[in-house]
Amino acid sequence: MKVVIVGGGEVGFYFAEWLSSERKEVVIIDKDENALRHITDHLDVQTIHGSGSNPRILEDAGVGKADIILAVTDSDEVNLIACIFANLLAPSIQKVALIRNDDYEAYREKLTRDLLDISLVINPEAEVVNSILRIISVPEVEQIHDFADGRIRLVGMRLPANSTLNGIMLMQLPEKIEKNRMVVAAVVRDDRLIIPRGKDTLQAGDSVYFACQKNDLPIILKLFGSSGNAVKNIMIVGGGKIGYRLAQQLDNKNYNVKLIEMDTERCHEVAGMLHHTMVLNGYATDQAFMEQENAGSMDMVVAVTWDEEVNILASLLAKRLGAKKTVARVNKFAYIPLVHAIGIDHIVSPRQCAIDSIMPSMRRGKVMSTVFIKGKEAEVLEALALANSEMVGSPLKDINLPKEALVLCVARGDEVLIPSGDTIMQPQDRLIILSTRKNLPRVEQLLESKRRFF
């Protein structure tokens, strides 16, 4: 596989690092010589100095022989123009573009089908808002992701000492909950990833990752010791694209929402577009102001300004004043583990959301979405079972899946199954599969179509 990456920032660097580790041919284009120097100092990939919107540069990068072009610069226009010329130079190439401007959203279908045939258009800010809305729906979990159009949820949650699941073996789960209600996918214990089997025991302090139907989640959370308290009072820090879009999503729903914006002009602009949200002009890092606005009584404080230091400080201050849960927008990957360690409940990152959205395009087979567990150590994929793949037509116990790979759930029409060894996959089933990173190539091989010779 050959991949041309337009943009050598954190997203471009991440994919270059990942692809080169899997021995893929990678070419990165960027105008910033310092960014390219950083890449060549750390990665064994080809770099080209110039703009990805220049057709000659794209030709020099070998776009005509590439399988995929990732246009992931900070400029929507450069990303679009790169895809335009890629379409002219290599019509069959798969094209992925980051597009952040909301004004382009109305033309998404034209971009992906009629005009440029872009394979995937991603708006990272919109993906961040979707992540926050999932967190709001289940605030007590560490991680939550949707599969199969929202019918299946993958949840990561710390197991408290008072949980009825503490100390039981996985094979005993049916005694605690009806059969086929949930499947434990992975456990993180003492910073070590475990792909558990029936005789493995859940222990207090474990981060347990499980898959279940969305409707069954409230029952399962009670077993974990969840109080089930819903989020009602929300404070949003930052009235930019993400903050405004989030407030807009919550504006007509059953929430009490305050939005804090430090820029007076933007404050008036946002207030004129929202109907039920209280919009306040002030600084979320000012303790007196936050006390005055009752930040300590909030069920959740969501800090999503463009300045991640402000987000971190505002979240810590709100937590200190008594806010139950905090969410902070953090862009720099290096900050993310540090922020978790200092007590902020949830981290959202536009760059990480962009990576999560792009990753399915990089997988073989018909992969529709992916989620990482514990950094990059394991991955959960939602994939379509292709009629002539090895996953279809045989009992699951007879399919040569790697030991550290599990089929967690199967969505078949309107039905959701937790498969057994005797389950036979059917064409067009949606498979939710967990695999450790080292076993992903074999999983991809199983998901790919087999060539038929007549």
In this predicted structure, what is the pLDDT of residue 179? 62
Assess whether the region 2-122 and the region 359-447 belong to the same CATH fold. no
Whether domain 359-447 has CATH 2.60.40.10: the reply is no
| Residue 42: band (very low, low, confident or very high) from pLDDT cuts 50, 70, 90 | very high
For the chain, the structural domain boundaries read 2-122, 144-223, 233-352, 359-447
- Give the Cα separation of 174 and 86 in Å (integer): 53
Nearest-CA neighbor of 391 among 359, 423, 425, 360? Answer: 425
Stretch among 65-74, 178-187, 197-206, 273-282 having the lowest mean pLDDT: 178-187
Express each pLDDT in 114-162 by its tens digit: 666 777 888 888 899 999 999 999 988 888 999 999 999 999 999 989 8
CATH superfamily, domain at 2-122: NAD(P)-binding Rossmann-like Domain (3.40.50.720)
- Using CA atoms in the order 92, 94, 98, 104, what is the torsion angle rounded to 10 degrees? 40
- Rg of the chain over all Cα atoms, to the nearest angstrom: 23
Which two three-digit tokens encode residue 92?
């069959």
393 has pLDDT over 80: yes
How much is the mean pLDDT over the chain? 90
- Give the Cα separation of 326 and 25 in Å (integer): 41
Whether domain 144-223 has CATH 1.10.1200.30: the reply is no
In this predicted structure, what is the pLDDT of residue 452? 45
Where do runs of H (alpha helix) occur along 143-210? Answer: 173-176
In the chain, count H helices and then E strands: 15, 22
243 has pLDDT over 50: yes
- Give the Cα separation of 396 and 241 in Å (integer): 46
In this predicted structure, what is the pLDDT of residue 114? 61
Which residue in the block uniquely carries the two structure tokens 């993180």? 188
pTM score, whole prediction: 0.85
Sheet holding 152-158, edge to edge: 143-147, 152-158, 207-213, 182-189, 192-194
Are residues 193 and 374 in contact, defined by beta-carbon separation less than 8 angstroms?
A: yes
Could you tell me the fold of the domain covering 233-352? Rossmann fold (3.40.50)
Express each pLDDT in 326-348 by its tens digit: 999 998 877 887 887 888 999 99
Express each pLDDT in 153-192 by its tens digit: 999 999 989 888 999 998 888 877 776 588 999 999 988 9
**Beta-strand runs (E) in 247-299:** 256-261, 278-281
Which residue in the block uniquely carries the two structure tokens 């605690």? 176
- Give the Cα separation of 95 and 389 in Å (integer): 25
